[in-house]
Amino acid sequence: MAASTEQRPAGDGLPGAGFRLDGRVAVVTGASSGLGAAVARALAGAGARVAVVARREDRLATLAKEIDGLAVGADLLVPEQVDAVVPRVAAELGGPEILVNAAGNVFSEDRAEDEPADAVASTLALNLVAPFRLSQQVFGHMRAAGRGAITNVSSISGRVGIPGIPQASYAASKAGLSGLTAELAVQWARHRIRVNTVAPGFFRSEITESLYATERGQTWLRRNTPLPDDGIAQDMVGAVLWLVSDAGRYVTGQTIVVDGGWTAR
Ligand SMILES: NC(=O)c1ccc[n+]([C@@H]2O[C@H](COP(=O)([O-])OP(=O)(O)OC[C@H]3O[C@@H](n4cnc5c(N)ncnc54)[C@H](OP(=O)(O)O)[C@@H]3O)[C@@H](O)[C@H]2O)c1
Q: Is 76 in the pocket of ligand 1 (CB under 6 A)?
A: yes
Residue ranges of the chain whose pLDDT lies below 70: 1-15
pLDDT value of residue 227: 97
Ligand 1 centre distance from Cα of residue 197 (Å): 15
pLDDT value of residue 3: 55
Q: Is 175 in the pocket of ligand 1 (CB under 6 A)?
A: no
What kind of architecture, by CATH, is found in domain 21-202+234-259? 3-Layer(aba) Sandwich (3.40)
Question: Domains of the chain: which residue ranges?
Answer: 21-202+234-259
pLDDT value of residue 43: 98
197/221 Cα distance (integer angstroms): 23
Q: Is 155 in the pocket of ligand 1 (CB under 6 A)?
A: yes
Which residues are registered as beta bridge partners of 258? 200
96/2 Cα distance (integer angstroms): 30
Nearest C-alpha to atom 36 of ligand 1 is from which residue? 30
Taking only the tens place, the pLDDT of each residue in 136-156 is: 999 999 999 999 999 999 999
Q: Is 200 in the pocket of ligand 1 (CB under 6 A)?
A: yes
Q: Is 105 in the pocket of ligand 1 (CB under 6 A)?
A: yes
Catalytic residue among 107, 139, 170, 203: 170
pLDDT value of residue 9: 57
Ligand 1 centre distance from Cα of residue 207 (Å): 7
CA of 67: how far to CAs of 37, 63, 173, 177, 220, in Å? 11, 6, 31, 28, 36
Ligand 1 pocket: which of 105, 209, 221 to mutate (most atoms within 8 A of CB) = 105
pLDDT value of residue 16: 73
pLDDT value of residue 69: 98
pLDDT value of residue 15: 62
Contact between residue 49 and residue 77 where contact means Cβ atoms under 8 Å apart: no
